[in-house]
Amino acid sequence: MNSMLLKGGRVIDPASGVDGAYDVLVRDGEVEAVEAAGSLAPFEGAAVVDVRGCWVVPGLIDAHVHLRDPGFPEKETIASGLRAAAAGGFTAVAAMANTSPVNDGPETTRYMLERAKSAHCARLIPVSAVTRGLRGVELVDFASMIEQGARLFSDDGIPIDDPVILSRAFDEAKRLGYAISLHEEDRALSCDGALNAGEASKLLGVSGYTDSAESERVRRDLAIAIGSGAAVHIAHASTAESFALIRAARRHGAHVTCEVTPHHFVLDESAALIWGPNAKMNPPLRSHGNVEAVLDAIQDGTADMIASDHAPHDHKSKRMDDLAPFFGPGHAVACLARDLAESFARAANGVVGLETSLGLTLGLVHRSLIDASRLVQMMSLNPAGLLRLDAGTLATGAIADITVIDPNLEWTVMPERFLSKSRNTPFAGMRLKGRAVLTIVGGEIVFDARKE
């Protein structure tokens, strides 16, 4: 069943310049027609879905997720991660390479794609490692990874320290026409910091991670990128200085794109005082001024896309056995005892994000910081471009990857109801307005909120 008529929604397709009340007819998994609302009739065998009051947009795409499979099934599997993606409105997600084994060879890529195929859910777009084993020493075979299905290269989780390796990677990526996504961190400056270097880290008595650990590496890498002419993508940019460097590099002709995460534009470092390790990630939540800088970057176009950096972790990896009693809403945290501060420092970095990313980004539309079309650009069209996907539009003939969003549906984030296997979120209990109600991949419904 991959044919349907979506009747009377607000179709928002910036690639085609469409924003208005339209019917969308899907036949055999492809968009057959998009016409003024009320003008299309279903053919035999096409389901009719009334989507009045909803947005109908090209399927959302997240260019940065961690699905932990192979290697860490207690945190996430490809099946659970793709179900979480579909529930969040995503029709495709780019799965990072820091699995075990690392996705640095064709066998792992094949395994990932086979698992994704049998999940019959959102699509998995493999991200290949840049260097073997993420060790930063030897490049992977870029051409063979592309042949297997990789659409982006990244050692995410770990920066590429050696500038010679990085410039060789840029040359290879440029030759083959793909982008490299960079985790920007100078580890001599971040020094394993548990939180942003600021008030919260001081209060808790844990080590701090400065803005410069990110921006100094962005500065170096953009200088190398300008020389090479390669397409470079800055993952999870989080500081005012990083955005200033990206703007300057663009003026110098760099092919640079960048993503920002919902947690970096919704929360500042003080969230760690409430949520503890569930507000610990890399790069860390920053100062209030940097949150404003992320919002400016979204509004002025410096940030090309929203990515969740979905990073599931179990209770144990987050050291919640030790730390849970000291955190939570209503807790006023004082300096942690030394052994607890050590636990905090050792807690795994990352937050789950697939099921909250759209709701948090819709908050920007409700606050009139961006319009709906810009949201679709940042969550579908631009990530499709980064990943070299034939997606991100509802033009006639396009593959019918479609997200139907009820922008006004109010809901509460309840981690225990996530389809992800992990619960590590600093958004528990938050009221959000708007969510995906139908996620359609190749004309088939893979998530239907009405049935949940």
CB of 156 to Zn ion, least distance (A): 4
The residue count for binding Zn ion (CB under 5 A) is 2
Cα–Cα nearest to 409, from 19, 47, 18, 55: 55
- Please identify, among the stretches 183-191, 223-231, 400-408, 436-444, the one whose residues bind Zn ion according to the rule CB under 5 A: 183-191
Cis peptide before 101 (omega within 30 of 0): yes
Tokens of 251: 């003026």
Q: Which is nearer to Zn ion, 184 or 406 (CB)?
A: 184
CB of 261 to Zn ion, least distance (A): 10
Length of the chain: 452
Tokens of 233: 């993508």
Q: Which is nearer to Zn ion, 174 or 183 (CB)?
A: 183
Q: Which is nearer to Zn ion, 190 or 403 (CB)?
A: 190
CA atoms of 122 and 66, how far apart (whole Å): 14
CB of 236 to Zn ion, least distance (A): 6
CA atoms of 243 and 261, how far apart (whole Å): 14
CB of 283 to Zn ion, least distance (A): 7
- Please identify, among the stretches 71-79, 177-185, 191-199, 258-266, the one whose residues bind Zn ion according to the rule CB under 5 A: 177-185
> CB of 203 within 8 A of CB of 195?
no
Q: Which is nearer to Zn ion, 91 or 257 (CB)?
A: 257
Return the sign of the alpha-carbon dihedral for residues 95, 383, 353, 186.
positive
The DSSP element (H or E) to which 353 belongs, if any, is none
Regarding 183 and contact with Zn ion (CB under 5 A), the answer is yes
Q: Which is nearer to Zn ion, 217 or 219 (CB)?
A: 217
Amino acid at 256: V
Q: Which is nearer to Zn ion, 3 or 242 (CB)?
A: 242
Task: List the end-to-end C-alpha distance of the chain, in Å, as a whole number.
Answer: 20
CB of 183 to Zn ion, least distance (A): 4
Per-residue interface string for the shown chain with Zn ion, residues 147-166, x marking contact by CB under 5 A:
---------x----------
- Catalytic residue (one of 309, 322, 401, 406): 309
CB of 132 to Zn ion, least distance (A): 19
- Please identify, among the stretches 36-44, 52-60, 179-187, 310-318, the one whose residues bind Zn ion according to the rule CB under 5 A: 179-187
Report the alpha-carbon angle 226-229-232, nearest 5. 80
- Please identify, among the stretches 11-19, 175-183, 224-232, 241-249, the one whose residues bind Zn ion according to the rule CB under 5 A: 175-183
Regarding 64 and contact with Zn ion (CB under 5 A), the answer is no
Catalytic-residue membership of 371: no
Residue 268: count of CB within 10 angstroms of its CB: 21
Residue number of the CB closest to Zn ion reads 183
Cis peptide before 70 (omega within 30 of 0): yes
CB of 235 to Zn ion, least distance (A): 5
Give, in order, the Cα–Cα distances in Å from 3 to each of 6, 37, 444. 10, 18, 8
Distance of CA 363 to the CA centre of its chain: 17
Q: Which is nearer to Zn ion, 183 or 263 (CB)?
A: 183
Regarding 185 and contact with Zn ion (CB under 5 A), the answer is no
405 CB-near residues (< 8 Å, 6+ apart): 54, 55, 57, 89, 358, 362, 434, 435, 436, 437
Hey, which residues are catalytic here? 309
- List contacts with Zn ion (CB under 5 A): 156, 183
